[in-house]
Structure 1
Amino acid sequence: MRTWMRSGAWAVLLGLLGMPQSISGGNILAVYPHFGFSHFKVAMPILNELAHRGHDITVISYVTNPQAGAYPNYNELLISAPGEDQSSTTINLVPLTEHTPTRSLMVLIREYVLLHQEGQKTCEHLFASGHMERAIERHQHKPYDLLLTEYFNSDCQLALAKVLKLPIIGLSTCALMPYYYDRIDLPDTPAFIQSEFVGFAGQLNWHERLLNFVQAKLLKFLYKYHSNRADNELVRRYLGVEVDVEEVARTQTAFVFGNQHYSLMGSRPQSLQFVEIGGVHITTKAQQELPEHIAQFLDQSGEGVIFISWGSMVRASSIDADKLSAALEVLKGQPLKIIWKWEADEPPVADSAKFLFVKWAPQLALLCHPKVKLFWSHGGLLGTTEAVHCGKPLLVTPIYGDQFLNAYSVQNRGMGLKLDYQDITVENLNKALTELRKNSYAQRSLQVSKVFNERQQTPLESAIWCVEHVINNGLAAAQLLQSPGIELHGLVYHSLDSVALILIPLILLIVVLCYVCKGSPPKSVHRKVGKKAKRS
């Protein structure tokens, strides 16, 4: 299962690169076919650290890792076309016209369908690239020890784990999708555990619990019998093998890394296989990267700054004219200056001493800067996590997907407010910003940040330990971690057979007693009848 570094020259090279020398290096296959850079950004620190520690890594991905060239043991196989402008598919992709003003069941189903279509598209690109066959061929010469991959909207890549008999470590770059819970026996109690697809404030009332229950069970069913069947058919078409990817995931998954932390998402029952690594993408270097013009603007901001950024995929500059007008009117009256990530070439007409519009912003460095007092965000998990890390209050305007869940998580923690896109008016925005100026939000943000940052291990250390544990123990690690519950039928898992065995005799007894009582007239009736007969 392990390949040992024997070459003295290789050890010298590792020493020059600052890599650990006397370790056993694994041979890792990593497959991240999703086109979103924000997804791959979560995986990159793990992959880079594994390469730094001397493990050989073959990475099949759509997005280039900027640090790949720094490691001779990091081999990159790109799904994207040579010379393709990856920013065209990963940056400023979503206009604000695509916001979803409600989280109704139909909206959630529509989002599932879009994710399914997107997942099948990425799978087609993955298999058409020929990299799957390349990985299988390389395995014959130098066996892989482990498959690292993303658990998001498709499982077609898990065919590699089946064919090559590899343990799996999945990565969920957002809150875990509802259809992955059962694979690791992670409780999804719909009375209080909210799915990635929904978002509610505080304790759920009965109709919210009903929606939470229905969507979680329905989406699990759809994913298993719709998406996974499509995955199986695609594997059969390209590789000519019969694979049940759902069974592969259930029986060969060792760990699932979740890009979350209880300080933000809330405490919940856990599975040994689910490891919270929220904040793994946060680095000290990124925290210090401030361009000169932004640093100068911050220095000249006496009372501080509101930072506005709606992520790498959402085009904030596509905002409706009436909402932009309302935002500018309110922000002009704020004591704080404004730094606004704006993608269009022409920024809005505004006082340059008050507003700084930038096409790109060093988000983490800005959020951790003491002059930044508030973050107006769209609720993307990376930006939200960075705000929690830096201890900054948030105003969150969710647009789609998990952003609603993240927005309510911020509000439920007392470190910010949710303001829906359709509710951006002068009155509502003024009210929200006035409320957020209360010191309680800043204090609560610092409290949550302290809990978020105080851990037994850093997120990266936790992830690396899990990977190296699986490398050293192979499929045995996955098998020993798995709960017996994943093999049980739902009726048995929830003890419904036992409940039925108790209730059925009890119900029969009640029915018999009711029948007997109904057939025997009351004693008082007998007495009255007797007396009446005697008189006559």
Structure 2
Amino acid sequence: MKFLPLTYFVFILCLGLSEQSNILGLFPHFGYSHFKVYSPILTTLAERGHNVTVVTYIKTPDPPRNYHELLLEGKGGTDVFSLEDHIPSRSLWTLFMEFYILHVEGQKSCEEFYNSPHVEEIIRRHSVSPYDMIILEIFNTDCYSGLSYLLQVPVVGLSSCALMPWHYARVALPDTPSYIQSEFIGFAEELSWQERLVNFIQSNGNKILYRLTEWKDNAMIKKYLNLDVDVREIAKTMTSLVFVNQHYSLSGNRPLSAQVKEIGGVHIPTGNKLPSIPKDIDDFLNASNETVLFISFGSMLRGSTISKDKFESIVSAVKKLNLRVIWRWDSEKAPFTSSRFIFPKWAPQFSLLCDPRVNIFWGHGGMLGTTEAVHCGKPLIVTPFYGDQFLNGKATENRKVGIVLNYETISEERVLEVLREIMRARYGENAKELSKVFRNREKSPLSKAIWWIEHVLNENIAKDLLRTKVVNMNWFIYYSLDSIVLLIFSAVLPILIIYTVKIRYF
């Protein structure tokens, strides 16, 4: 009997090992801000005993033992755009040009991925110890889905932003442009008829463009994997789950299928994981009780590239108010020294946003910074530059916790107007109320994601039960047009018969 505890321990250990799964993560997009959303999910799965192999540009510091990286060579993912590269309008031409840029980037990442030695290594590893699941980023290309078809492995898709227009069909998610805004758009919550028209045209137009460019993905899969496939069909038949980095409290209420799970804020650290605030910033915060504004334009934009006139406008406006500024400045040399300003090259953004001494956040509307500010209950000024930043900025205005200040309109007068408005007590109060709803969930975003992934891994039929047969339905039948035509015909036919009889005999 004295050996029972050891026997029991060995049994539990073996049970745990039997539930291990082999997971392949495909994240060949270069953006660090994208991968920051996915990294907690991948590392947590490894910490829970799963063998996780990840293709990425971004190296993870101190990864878990079961976490294996296949690093791509090339550009990393930080500070790649100038503030002067802003897009001043959301015209249809601009929106379709953004699609073109995304398409070109997607094809480039496909080429780099398939030309790397990692594809051959993945196939070799699968022949030795098969993968049970592929977790991949759904963004601007579906070329990676060729591997899921080759390996016959179910797919879990992750989106770091709102879903692109072409993602809805693969999970039969209702896409109603009369009120559901595309990732490319940024309007008030109730659309005017002009805005509905723009939303309708760009949403359906981008779907058509994506469909017309899918042949390139098919050709790439044929070239490198020797498969004659249609990525559109693979996406429909192989996708079991889609996680999207949003939450109804900020992004609005919209229909979701069982395949689509909101995990907005999944990247936000908990417990004692917050980076400490550097001493110089901490001393700056302790030096005064004035309102503190934190400015940061994220990892993809060089804050120091702001034009001289706009920089001087912001500085002049701040000096006229009871305000002090922490401005993340991606240069070793600060533009000037002042008791009211500090320009750190690096700043722990989330730690500062949740610090009670910081009062307002001015950012570019990236989903990470926006959700962090909402989580921490801080009002926002949003200066969007491209992509979903316009959508996110408008979402903060819809919730009355933020104000959109477009880059081209920055002037001393406009900055003063916005700062005075955002400093009103109601914005801080609204931000705190929104934070409560954003935080208060039945499960944390990370726990929710892990539960559903392991549910698909552990329950063999779950991946099939989650998929809806609607994705293969003809659009004519999907919209019940056959029934509508029949009903109209049934109603009109008697009238025609009566009319014909009346003309002929009476």
TM-score, normalization: structure 1? Answer: 0.88
State the Cα deviation string for residues 454-474 of structure 1 (Å, max 9, x = none).
111111101111111111134
Aligned to 1:4: none
Aligned to 1:74: 67
Find the aligned partners of 2:65 and 2:187 in 1 and give their Cα distance: 47
Aligned to 2:465: 480
Aligned to 1:139: 126
> Is 1:61 aligned with 2:56?
yes
Aligned AA for 1:493? Y
State the Cα deviation string for residues 91-124 of structure 1 (Å, max 9, x = none).
1111122211111111111000000000000011
Aligned to 1:319: 306
Are the equivalent residues in 1 in contact too, given 2:17–2:49 (CA < 8 A)?
no
Find the aligned partners of 1:512 and 1:239 in 2 and give their Cα distance: 61
State the Cα deviation string for residues 361-419 of structure 1 (Å, max 9, x = none).
11000000001110011100000010011000001010111000000000000101111
The 3-state SS of whatever aligns with 1:485 is helix
Are the equivalent residues in 2 in contact too, given 1:62–1:78 (CA < 8 A)?
yes
State the Cα deviation string for residues 263-304 of structure 1 (Å, max 9, x = none).
110111111111111111111345342111111111113123
Find the aligned partners of 1:489 and 1:291 in 2 and give their Cα distance: 59
> Is 1:39 aligned with 2:25?
no
State the Cα deviation string for residues 161-219 of structure 1 (Å, max 9, x = none).
10111111000001111100111111111111111011101310111111111111111
The 3-state SS of whatever aligns with 1:432 is helix
Are the equivalent residues in 2 in contact too, given 1:298–1:304 (CA < 8 A)?
no
Structure 1: which 5+ residue stretches go unaligned? 1-7, 522-536
Which deviates more, 373-382 or 502-511?
502-511
- Residue from 205, 208, 218 that aligns with 1:232: 218
Q: Call closer, same or farther: CA 1:513–1:148 in 2, change over 3 Å.
A: same
> Is 1:107 aligned with 2:107?
no
Aligned AA for 2:429? Q
Find the aligned partners of 1:208 and 1:512 in 2 and give their Cα distance: 44
Aligned to 1:95: 82
- Residue from 217, 220, 227 that aligns with 1:241: 227
Which deviates more, 511-520 or 134-143?
511-520
The 3-state SS of whatever aligns with 1:338 is strand
How far the C-alpha of 1:501 sits from its partner, in A, is 2.5
State the Cα deviation string for residues 417-459 of structure 1 (Å, max 9, x = none).
1111111111111111111111111111011100010111111
The 3-state SS of whatever aligns with 2:310 is helix
Find the aligned partners of 2:343 and 2:44 in 1 and give their Cα distance: 35
Are the equivalent residues in 2 in contact too, given 1:58–1:77 (CA < 8 A)?
yes
Aligned to 1:186: 173
Which deviates more, 158-167 or 508-517?
508-517
How far the C-alpha of 1:21 sits from its partner, in A, is 5.5
Aligned to 1:532: none
Are the equivalent residues in 2 in contact too, given 1:415–1:444 (CA < 8 A)?
yes
Q: Call closer, same or farther: CA 1:100–1:517 in 2, change over 3 Å.
A: farther
Find the aligned partners of 2:421 and 2:144 in 1 and give their Cα distance: 47
Which deviates more, 371-380 or 511-520?
511-520
> Is 1:26 aligned with 2:13?
no
Find the aligned partners of 1:143 and 1:331 in 2 and give their Cα distance: 59
The 3-state SS of whatever aligns with 1:250 is helix
CA RMSD of aligned residues (A): 2.4
The 3-state SS of whatever aligns with 1:372 is coil
Aligned to 1:198: 185
Find the aligned partners of 1:97 and 1:377 in 2 and give their Cα distance: 15
> Is 1:150 aligned with 2:137?
yes
Find the aligned partners of 2:497 and 2:288 in 1 and give their Cα distance: 82
Find the aligned partners of 2:86 and 2:500 in 1 and give their Cα distance: 60
Find the aligned partners of 2:17 and 2:288 in 1 and give their Cα distance: 51
Give the percent of matched residue pairs that are identical in Structure 1 and Structure 2: 46
The 3-state SS of whatever aligns with 2:185 is coil
Question: 1:374-523 alignment to 2 at 5 Å?
Answer: 374-474=360-460, 476-504=461-489, 506=491
Find the aligned partners of 1:342 and 1:517 in 2 and give their Cα distance: 85
How far the C-alpha of 1:131 sits from its partner, in A, is 1.0
How far the C-alpha of 1:514 sits from its partner, in A, is 9.0
Which protein has the larger Cα radius of gyration, Structure 1 or Structure 2? 1
Q: Call closer, same or farther: CA 1:135–1:158 in 2, change over 3 Å.
A: same
The 3-state SS of whatever aligns with 2:381 is strand
Find the aligned partners of 1:206 and 1:175 in 2 and give their Cα distance: 23
Are the equivalent residues in 2 in contact too, given 1:91–1:313 (CA < 8 A)?
yes
Runs of 4+ in 1 over 4 A off after TM superposition: 20-23, 504-521
Find the aligned partners of 1:519 and 1:449 in 2 and give their Cα distance: 74
Q: Call closer, same or farther: CA 1:447–1:491 in 2, change over 3 Å.
A: same
Aligned to 2:341: 355
